[in-house]
């Protein structure tokens, strides 16, 4: 954080001490997520975007849990603890104890207003300082202001005379459509002094932050309001319904931003993209796609339909169809799916293929290598240009430890193989269909483990008598009715031999 811009505030205080009881959750309200970030991280990012000299978050409910979350996502932020005295005024007073600056502008925002952005806050600071005000409130005009505090302006509209809560407003005041967002810019010295004069002698027994505005007016200082045209910027989350509503609005804005940057999103109504996802120009996102975390999509890549990617990198020109990937890398012009599961550590090279019903984990699949069908590849390295036959299993677990399999360059692994790790198949080697590979296959060699095939003639007629299979077999053999006895003489020895071989 720094003071690079002229409108940078001396400090920002983010209030996040409330319990959020209307969420009806064991998770603190500010830790609920939309767009891949917690509400609190959205709020901190907006505050940090103003370039403040100091950034303080005030906590109380589930203090240690929320502080740990901040330490993980915003370690540069200072934490202040609100004591047992209730009210937003007291919360700000506790936050100011962490602020070392003696003068300048201090912003007060909230940890449950996720759509608020840095530009809006910077505009608030600029208007506040430009007017030389003691306090400036961010307001909005709404069609239905029921339940909100109303902004009372002077006759010429330049000054704020006060803020009246809905329950205390008369009919004429309730007709006012300009509401208080609760987000403020204050002169730091005025704020410190005014908070020292606020008590809890009211019906709620709380220290009200709005009392600072009244004190400033009594002292002859200027109090202003700045109206935001974007009402959603100041909407807060109080319950799960509002969480979903603001989550949908954030997603709409994210999708619109990507589309205006040259990304094709075929069906925005079924597409969800987190705030930290990056998508290059001319990528195509098909219906039913969810892109989460730090996922990065390359130019002209095609994702979907019905695909979920989390923290996954997709190269230029790659295609991912009806698949799920987590912490994976998909190279340029590679193909994945349909119905594949790429688990953490999967790295598919350029032009490679992970086909239908394939699961991979901690597997490096080099350029041009293919795992086309019905396979599990775990803890493996597959060399350039190699092909893994359908139904192949990389048996990586011995019941105690995981082991790694190495498949060299331009190897052809036959269908229905089991590669029992640790094992290496050398460059240019091959394995036969149905092979269980328990030891290394040298470069250029053919590894086989199947026994020679033996056909037991007449088996169906003896062991499946009276079934449709017998009828089909007899018809195919062209046998006349009764020409082959159902239990021909001399078959007992063959049955015994067959049993012994089994």
Using one digit for the tens of pLDDT, what is the confidence trace for 286-344? Answer: 999 999 999 999 999 999 999 999 999 999 999 999 999 999 999 999 999 999 999 99
Distance CA 49, CA 122 (A): 9
Largest CA distance in the chain: 120
Packing angle, helices 188-195 and 88-96, rounded to 10 = 120
DSSP helix/strand/coil, 456: coil
Cβ–Cβ contacts within 10 Å for residue 492, how many? Answer: 10
Q: What is the pLDDT of residue 344?
A: 98
Contacts of 207 (CB under 8 A, 6+ apart): 85, 86, 87, 88, 89, 90, 93, 195, 198, 199, 200
CB 258 within 8 A of CB 280: no
Q: What share of the chain is helix, strand, coil (3-state, %, to 5)?
A: 25, 25, 45
Residue 203 has a pLDDT of 74
- The C-alpha atoms of residue 274 and residue 486 are separated, in whole angstroms, by 69
Q: How far apart are CA 302 and CA 36, in angstroms?
A: 22
Q: Measuring CA to CA, which residue among 170, 206, 179, 187 is closest to residue 90?
A: 206
State the catalytic residue, choosing from 69, 373, 403, 410.
373
Residue 69 among the catalytic residues: no
- Here the contacts of 441-448 (C-beta below 8 Å, separation 24 or greater) are 443/408
The pLDDT score that the predictor gives to residue 450 is: 76
In 229-383 the beta strands, taken as DSSP E runs, fall at 264-265, 272-273, 278-279, 284-285, 290-292, 296-297, 302-303, 308-310, 313-314, 319-320, 324-326, 329-330, 335-336, 341-342, 347-348, 353-356, 359-365, 370-373, 376-382
Q: What is the pLDDT along the chain (502 residues), one digit of tens a residue?
A: 443 346 799 999 999 999 999 999 999 999 999 999 999 999 999 999 999 999 999 999 999 999 999 999 999 999 999 999 999 999 999 999 999 999 999 999 999 999 999 999 999 999 999 999 999 999 999 999 998 999 999 999 999 999 998 888 999 999 999 999 999 999 999 999 999 999 887 777 889 999 999 999 999 999 999 999 999 999 999 999 999 999 999 999 999 999 999 999 999 999 999 999 999 999 999 999 999 999 999 999 999 999 999 999 999 999 999 999 999 999 999 999 999 999 999 999 999 999 999 999 999 999 999 999 999 999 999 999 999 999 999 999 999 999 999 999 999 999 999 999 999 999 999 999 999 999 999 999 999 997 788 899 999 999 999 999 999 999 999 844 444 444 444 444 455 455 454 4
Length of the chain in terms of residues written? 502
Q: What is the pLDDT of residue 98?
A: 96
* Rounded Cα–Cα distance for residues 29 and 18 (Å): 8
Cβ pair 123, 166 in contact under 8 A: no
Task: Write down the pLDDT at residue 6.
Answer: 64
pLDDT at 200: 84
pTM of the model: 0.88
């Amino acid at each position: 954080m720094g003071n690079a811009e002229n409108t940078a505030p001396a400090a920002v205080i983010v209030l996040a001490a409330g319990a959020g009881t209307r969420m009806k959750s064991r998770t603190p309200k500010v830790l609920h997520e939309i767009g891949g970030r917690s509400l609190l991280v959205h709020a901190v990012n907006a505050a940090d975007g103003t370039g403040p000299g100091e950034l303080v978050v005030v906590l109380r409910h589930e203090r240690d849990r929320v502080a740990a979350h901040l330490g993980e996502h915003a370690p540069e932020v200072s934490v202040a603890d609100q004591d047992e005295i209730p009210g937003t005024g007291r919360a700000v007073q506790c936050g100011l104890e962490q602020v070392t600056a003696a003068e300048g502008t201090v912003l007060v925002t909230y940890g449950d207003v996720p759509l608020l952005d840095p530009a809006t806050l910077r505009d608030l600071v600029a208007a506040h300082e430009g007017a030389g005000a003691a306090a400036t409130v961010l307001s909005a005009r709404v069609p239905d202001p029921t339940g909100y505090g109303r902004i009372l302006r002077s006759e010429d509209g330049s000054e704020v005379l006060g803020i009246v809560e809905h329950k205390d407003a008369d009919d004429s005041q309730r007709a006012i459509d300009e509401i208080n967002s609760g987000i403020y810019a204050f002169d730091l010295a005025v704020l410190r002094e005014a908070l020292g004069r606020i008590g809890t002698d009211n019906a709620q027994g709380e220290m009200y932050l709005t009392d600072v505005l009244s004190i400033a007016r009594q002292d002859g200082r200027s109090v202003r309001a700045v109206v935001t045209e974007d009402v959603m910027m100041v909407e807060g989350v109080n319950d799960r319904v509002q969480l979903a509503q603001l989550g949908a609005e954030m997603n709409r804005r994210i999708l619109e931003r990507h589309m205006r940057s040259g990304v094709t999103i075929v069906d925005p109504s079924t597409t969800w993209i987190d705030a930290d996802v990056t998508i290059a120009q001319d990528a195509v996102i098909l219906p039913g796609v969810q892109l989460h975390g730090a996922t990065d999509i390359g130019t002209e890549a095609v994702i979907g339909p019905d695909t979920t990617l989390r923290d996954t990198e997709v190269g230029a020109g790659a295609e991912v169809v009806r698949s799920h990937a987590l912490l994976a890398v998909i190279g340029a012009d590679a193909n994945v799916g349909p119905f594949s599961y790429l688990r953490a550590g999967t790295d598919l090279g350029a032009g490679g293929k992970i086909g239908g019903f394939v699961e991979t984990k901690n597997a490096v699949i080099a350029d041009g290598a293919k795992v086309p069908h019905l396979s599990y590849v775990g803890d493996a390295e597959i060399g350039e240009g190699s092909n893994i036959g359908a139904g192949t299993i990389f048996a990586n677990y011995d019941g105690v430890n995981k082991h790694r399999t190495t498949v060299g360059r331009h190897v052809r692994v036959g269908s229905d193989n089991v590669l029992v790790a640790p094992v290496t198949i050398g460059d240019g080697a091959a394995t036969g269909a149905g092979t269980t590979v328990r030891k290394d296959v040298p470069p250029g060699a053919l590894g086989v483990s199947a026994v020679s095939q033996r056909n037991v003639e007449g088996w169906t007629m003896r062991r499946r008598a009276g079934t449709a299979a017998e009828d089909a077999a007899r018809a195919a053999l062209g046998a006349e009715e009764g020409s082959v006895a159902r239990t021909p003489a001399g078959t007992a020895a063959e049955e015994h031999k067959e049993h012994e071989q089994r």
